[in-house]
Structure 1
């Protein structure tokens, strides 16, 4: 009762910047170097032909990420921990396996892209830079508690404004852009279908669900006031309002940046006949002769900044999923001694990501197909999330309102339809 009394005191409104947390960080991390590569690829290959998809995903992302955040805030458990408590273990292990595989591939590509981007800017050995970035991210996660690390991640979200600046320094034919959004030039073939699934898999990705739910749990642990809403329903109005605003702002920010990246690739690369981009670093390098040095520098610097944000999110989401699946302590607020398995997965995922850059594995093809894996694997996970969010046994009195149900199921059906179309057009 003492905690309820404390929580009933009229809280001092926090500064605007402090009201944004899990949603903002998750949305910004979605535009990682791997995402930049995928967005650059579809922009170069299809011009303005997929800009409509980014607009379509805004309400879908807000809904599905809001649901994942709500599950974490209401139950006080990470997403995989919640699934483990209510669904068969084979389902949990299958979901975790797909997330781990896709995340580790993404980690390798992101780490390599950061090294390649710094090499473009200052010269020198890309692999050494990549290893440095990986180790730096790992050390920050291992030795800085989440309550002090989260503000660093929020500051890193500002790096995405590099892509807003990039659009401002190139000439954009806005009339053509608007026309393509209203009447998108959709190509009914396998290449377009795979590109669509890769884009959706990059934008609506399982690791984002895991991270945002887990960050809500971390913030409960780090706060003396916050309690899971099932145990402290009086905190719900403020908590759910914050989640709604935070998630909406984060996903709008994420999709705005994705829109600008695709637009940059369409205006500069596709328009000049450069339709096959193999990496985010190549996209940056190609901008130099076509759009000028300033656009090149902004684009390349953005890759490094977003990578510093996304790498810990990817590695952390992998560790959360794996530890939650077998009911091990999970959280960056724990010390390595308190959560050995969690930190072991965190370290292993990061090191494997670095090691992938030493193998003959084509990182670009692996990256593109990891986005496809994400797009396919997201469907069963989203179905389970929708079922969890609707069950009183899981959510108590805080089951999803009908608006979230409609938007969440729409997002799930969109991902399923994209995957079906891809398989139906395979080989054509």
Structure 2
């Protein structure tokens, strides 16, 4: 089974990035174990949606955008959907790439605390990611990701165990949903950093890269469940660790590590730094890769990962991230647009997924079961609520 694990790990690595780490840190610091239930719902929703995307990728042997484009017969509807998808993914990932590289830089600064080197860290990380993407094929990237995710997972889980958490408190927070005062937006943010629209496109394309036969459907299913569940475990470990950190002014994961240092020594700081570095690097690789897959499908490029246009797309997204961070540019307007676009994109993609995965002409005997459709519709309703909240937040009405 371990040899067969692959695309699911990349999806887990993509959503457990610096944004998720920061939100889990803030949720734990402000509300203790009370919001673990929101992470649990997010993980279940991610498994359901990613499972559908992976199944579509294997059965059709096409990218998600390719399938949607073929099934939407009305030209203007097709063009609107493709424009929303392309805009949300390309602009959104370019904006968020700065945060991904920033997270990796933050971890690196703690491991090598040399003030003179700090200005060069974003460029060094960018060059390393560029080389990995330019010279690696899918199999090499997959092995790198398995190693980085294992390193990240072990680091954060050790941190959480060092705090000697309350098992009864964790179980209560997981299975007894509560909304403490001023926690609603934190819940929305926790779900929003876990159920990520671009991962649906990434997953379908990566499944197609790795597997060719419908006899592998069971392997795809378990790869998705195991990998995303482990990613969820890492997110919960971060939240649990943060709830024990005796520090009130907490803005990111390294503040949490500094809070734990008096109790557990320098090792807490190093484990957190290594985890954050691994999380930043993995997300900084997957975001450009997802953008390139979407652009490739939208414009009908061939040649896969070695196509020059494919490479140019991910290189552009990566360069945006390095520039935003190196020159301390705050792309607030771009990020706000990305939040609105992703808020619209998630329910749209969830509905399109449900529609496609129930079409006999596309999926044959591998269509959704009744239970999968019920769960899918519940997630669509939640995605619409989430999208509306994120749009209202950006528009300044909350």
**TM-score normalised according to structure 2 size:** 0.89
The answer (yes or no) to whether the contact 1:205–1:375 under 8 Å persists in 2 is: no
Quote the residue 1:24 is aligned against: 9
Of 128, 145, 165, 2:137 maps to 145
**TM-score normalised according to structure 1 size:** 0.83
Quote the residue 2:373 is aligned against: 405
Q: How far is 1:113 from its partner?
A: 1.6
CA separation of 1:150 and 1:181: change in aligned 2, threshold 3 A: closer
**Residues 1:70 and 2:43 are matched in the alignment:** no
**Residues 1:388 and 2:378 are matched in the alignment:** no
**Counterpart-to-counterpart distance in 1, 2:315 and 2:389:** 37
Q: How far is 1:368 from its partner?
A: 9.5
**Counterpart-to-counterpart distance in 2, 1:369 and 1:193:** 22
**Counterpart-to-counterpart distance in 1, 2:280 and 2:385:** 30
Quote the residue 2:314 is aligned against: 346
**Residues 1:265 and 2:263 are matched in the alignment:** no
Quote the residue 1:311 is aligned against: 284
The answer (yes or no) to whether the contact 1:49–1:180 under 8 Å persists in 2 is: yes
CA separation of 1:110 and 1:422: change in aligned 2, threshold 3 A: closer
Of 217, 220, 224, 1:247 maps to 224
**Residues 1:176 and 2:185 are matched in the alignment:** no
What is the correspondence of 1:183-202 to structure 2 with a 5 Å cutoff?
Answer: 183-187=176-180, 189=182, 192-202=183-193
The answer (yes or no) to whether the contact 1:112–1:127 under 8 Å persists in 2 is: no
What is the correspondence of 1:73-222 to structure 2 with a 5 Å cutoff?
Answer: 73-87=58-72, 88-124=78-114, 125-159=117-151, 160-187=153-180, 189=182, 192-220=183-211
**Counterpart-to-counterpart distance in 2, 1:407 and 1:264:** 31
**Counterpart-to-counterpart distance in 2, 1:115 and 1:197:** 27
The answer (yes or no) to whether the contact 1:40–1:262 under 8 Å persists in 2 is: yes
Quote the residue 1:9 is aligned against: none
CA deviations on 1:78-105 (whole Å, 9 max, x unpaired) are: 1122222223122111122112222222
The answer (yes or no) to whether the contact 2:110–2:269 under 8 Å persists in 1 is: no
Q: How far is 1:401 from its partner?
A: 2.3
**Counterpart-to-counterpart distance in 2, 1:195 and 1:284:** 21
Is 284-293 or 32-41 further displaced after alignment?
A: 284-293
The answer (yes or no) to whether the contact 2:156–2:238 under 8 Å persists in 1 is: yes
The answer (yes or no) to whether the contact 2:340–2:391 under 8 Å persists in 1 is: no
Structure 2 residues not aligned, in runs of 5+: 73-77
Q: How far is 1:127 from its partner?
A: 3.5
CA deviations on 1:360-401 (whole Å, 9 max, x unpaired) are: 444899879966764553111111111111112332332222
**Counterpart-to-counterpart distance in 2, 1:369 and 1:292:** 42
The answer (yes or no) to whether the contact 2:92–2:334 under 8 Å persists in 1 is: no
What is the correspondence of 1:224-235 to structure 2 with a 5 Å cutoff?
Answer: 226=212, 235=213
Of 15, 19, 22, 1:34 maps to 19
Describe the SS at the equivalent of 2:386. Answer: helix
Is 196-205 or 369-378 further displaced after alignment?
A: 369-378
The answer (yes or no) to whether the contact 1:65–1:208 under 8 Å persists in 2 is: yes
Q: How far is 1:47 from its partner?
A: 2.4
CA RMSD of aligned residues (A): 2.6
Structure 1 residues not aligned, in runs of 5+: 1-15, 221-225, 227-234
CA separation of 1:127 and 1:328: change in aligned 2, threshold 3 A: farther
